[in-house]
Chain A
Amino acid sequence: MDVELIRLTKRYGGTAAVDGIDLKIRSGDYCCLLGPSGCGKTTTLRMIGGHETVTSGDVVIGPRAVGDAAPSERGTAMMFQSYALFPHLNCRDNVAFSLKMRGIGKAERRTKAMAMLDLVQMSHLAERLPAQLSGGQQQRVALARALVTGPKVLLLDEPLSALDPFLRVRMRTELKRIQKELGLTFIHVTHSQEEAMALSDLAVVMNGGRIEQAGTPRDVFERPASAFVAKFIGGHNIIALPGEAPIAVRADRMRLGAQAGAAARPARIVSVEYQGSTVHVGLEADGMSEAGPLTAILDDDAFAANPVALGETVPLGWDAEAAHRLSA
């Protein structure tokens, strides 16, 4: 189902946690709300899910504005950051909980719960208590619990943050698979740009209660709307030449030495990091950047052909078409 936010605002006392945001998420999209902590992404998610009252503005899910309706009336379900599995119920009863609350009979709700556990490949551990499961397994049960009532929109609050890096990547794939399989709208809060890039159809970068940019991950990465977005999603150098508006240039479009072009400026190499398929070179150039050194990501072959060493001064430039003008 489509989800639309209209001038959505949340104020705590005098401060606005979410400051009049507008957003349209198409049905079946995987949307990631991305931003640093305190940017209002979780508050936004909680307002969509009905766990936080709306100060002003509206949340529209499908055909209707949901106002302050209870979560179960919205067709949304939430997956909590700490999973929030009921510790006294086994996996099956955890999953069947919302069906029980709706007064569905024991046999039917158990069958449905088992089917859901099957979907997340957890039916063999249905009798276990949450405390007897690993983090990844708890996550799967939490997902099954959220999906069992057939929500049209699934809300995920930093679902992968408690997992180790290996599991995180696996669960990420799993989430995407289930989302595509069921054709649901997923709204996923994360502070990891990598996660957002990997998962989303629509990436929404938030900062200070406002949306900085919303678009496909490629859009956001290729054409960051602001210096904040460029910095937050990483892989960009923000270059402010004297007397010119700041531009963002992708680190892998930076050029050193002979390829640097006519507009090249001298830069001192402050770090060289070998990363396998690429080499990250840190550079300092006077009057080009205000914040810290610039990074050039070079292809390992290119680097091997024209190696540079720490402390050297080399011409630094970039592909002209890669320069992207920033609004702020």
Chain B
Amino acid sequence: MTDIALTAPAVAPATATPSLTKTSRRARRLAYLQAAPMALVFLVFFIVPLALTLMVSFWEYNEYEIIPAFTVQNYIDVFDGCLSTSDPCTTLRTYLSTLKFCFLTWVFTLGIGFTVAYFLAFHVRSPRTQMVLFLICTIPFWTSNVIRMISWIPLLGRNGLVNDTLRGLGIIDRPIEGLLYSDFSVVLAFVHLNTVFMIVPIFNSMARIDRSLLEAAYDAGASGWQTLWNIVVPLTKPGIAIGSIFVITLVMGDFVTVGLMGGQQIASVGKVIQVQMSSLQFPAAAANAVVLLGAVMLMIVAMTRLIDLRKEL
């Protein structure tokens, strides 16, 4: 759509006679018209809610009402006590905890996603098998997020399958406590939920690598690892970046997984917002949401600094 809008003016100068100029102007209007539905959808479902959130974040509130006004108190509350170096404030600690999950999830999804995508793209020869295996990767998505998470509970619980089996085999004599409602279970669920978002874009990047490049590398005496590191990884960077953006934004904003798998005991930024919402502190929640949005955007900007995504796409 943007293509049409961009090329139409470029055509215009070539047309000399007035009647032709009129047609080109009409073509341009038509291009805007064609772009309008998408723009409308963006406006209603993206710009307006975002603007509303931003607006509400400056409102005042007390125990029983929300007052349309302008105050930065909500933001001050978010960063309350964050300047003291001895004891990090709640917000900072919450962000650190969320960032930790983010990083761990990113590392594991990237590792697994890259490996699976590599296998699919380079080791599976027939496109049909590729398709079948690809669909198998998406099977977990045929059911809801929450159900997928809950299904870990009978497996990892105190008297769950893992503990029972280990005890039955005599490997342990007391159940391992940390399996469920711990950092471990949260990361496990995150990885389970999000790996496919890494696989798809990385596979897409890999599928576009010309196979003759790998032969050329082999011809130049590169070993398998050298080819992987010097050819495959650099050419897969756009896919890695897109997958990373998916995973990071999903984990940063999550509250369900951390809640369910953390036994409601682990803090996360999304959880803070959710708690404030449920106690009807909308302005505070909105301020937190804006800060979170800013943080995530910074991370994405940093990533796109490393890789010029537009060029790669």
- Give the docked Cα–Cα distance between A71 and B223 (Å): 11
Chain B residues closer than 8 Å to A86, beta-carbon distance? 213, 216-217, 231
- Give the docked Cα–Cα distance between A189 and B109 (Å): 45
B264 interface residue per 8 A CB criterion: no
A87 vs chain B, min Cβ distance (A) = 7
- Give the docked Cα–Cα distance between A72 and B235 (Å): 23
- Number of residues of chain B lying within 8 A (CB) of chain A: 17
- Give the docked Cα–Cα distance between A86 and B217 (Å): 9
Residue of A nearest to B226 (CB): A101
Q: Is there an interface contact between A70 and B210, defined as CB atoms closer than 8 Å?
A: no
Q: Is there an interface contact between B212 and A72, defined as CB atoms closer than 8 Å?
A: no
Q: Which of B215, B222, B234, B235 contacts A101 (CB 8 A)?
A: B222
Residue of B nearest to A71 (CB): B219
Chain A residues closer than 8 Å to B235, beta-carbon distance? 87-88
Residue of B nearest to A82 (CB): B212
Q: Which of A81, A88, A101 contacts B220 (CB 8 A)?
A: A101
A80 interface residue per 8 A CB criterion: yes
Q: Is there an interface contact between B234 and A71, defined as CB atoms closer than 8 Å?
A: no
- Give the docked Cα–Cα distance between A71 and B231 (Å): 18
B230 interface residue per 8 A CB criterion: yes
Residue of A nearest to B234 (CB): A88
Q: Which of A84, A85, A149 contacts B221 (CB 8 A)?
A: A149
- Number of residues of chain A lying within 8 A (CB) of chain B: 22
- Give the docked Cα–Cα distance between A23 and B217 (Å): 28
Residues of A61-97 whose CB lies within 8 A of B: 70-72, 77-78, 80-82, 84-88, 97
Q: Is there an interface contact between A80 and B215, defined as CB atoms closer than 8 Å?
A: yes
Q: Given known contacts A87-B235, A97-B230, is B212 in contact with A80 (CB within 8 Å)?
A: yes
B235 vs chain A, min Cβ distance (A) = 6
B184 interface residue per 8 A CB criterion: no
B70 interface residue per 8 A CB criterion: no
A51 interface residue per 8 A CB criterion: yes
A98 interface residue per 8 A CB criterion: yes
B218 interface residue per 8 A CB criterion: yes
Q: Is there an interface contact between A71 and B221, defined as CB atoms closer than 8 Å?
A: yes
- Give the docked Cα–Cα distance between A195 and B72 (Å): 78
Q: Is there an interface contact between B221 and A102, defined as CB atoms closer than 8 Å?
A: yes
A18 vs chain B, min Cβ distance (A) = 18
Chain A residues closer than 8 Å to B210, beta-carbon distance? 82, 84
Chain B residues closer than 8 Å to A97, beta-carbon distance? 217, 220, 222, 230
B309 vs chain A, min Cβ distance (A) = 14
A35 interface residue per 8 A CB criterion: no
Q: Is there an interface contact between A84 and B218, defined as CB atoms closer than 8 Å?
A: no
Chain B residues closer than 8 Å to A41, beta-carbon distance? none
- Give the docked Cα–Cα distance between A86 and B214 (Å): 9
Residue of B nearest to A146 (CB): B219
A253 interface residue per 8 A CB criterion: no
Chain B residues closer than 8 Å to A70, beta-carbon distance? 218, 221
Residue of A nearest to B211 (CB): A84
Q: Is there an interface contact between A98 and B221, defined as CB atoms closer than 8 Å?
A: yes
Q: Given known contacts A97-B230, A101-B226, is B213 in contact with A84 (CB within 8 Å)?
A: yes
Chain B residues closer than 8 Å to A88, beta-carbon distance? 234-235
Residue of B nearest to A80 (CB): B212
A283 vs chain B, min Cβ distance (A) = 46
B306 vs chain A, min Cβ distance (A) = 14
A129 vs chain B, min Cβ distance (A) = 10
A223 interface residue per 8 A CB criterion: no
- Give the docked Cα–Cα distance between A82 and B210 (Å): 10
User: B residues engaging A (CB < 8 A)?
Assistant: 210, 212-213, 215-223, 226, 230-231, 234-235
Beyond known contacts A72-B219, A82-B210, A84-B216: 10 more, CB 8 A cutoff: A72-B220, A80-B215, A84-B210, A84-B215, A87-B213, A87-B235, A88-B234, A97-B217, A97-B220, A101-B221
Name 12 interchain pairs, CB-CB below 8 A, sorted by A: A51-B215, A71-B218, A71-B221, A84-B210, A86-B231, A88-B235, A97-B230, A98-B219, A98-B220, A102-B221, A145-B220, A149-B221
Which 9 pairs show the lowest CB-CB distances between chains A and B?
A72-B221, A98-B220, A84-B216, A84-B212, A101-B222, A71-B219, A88-B234, A78-B219, A101-B221
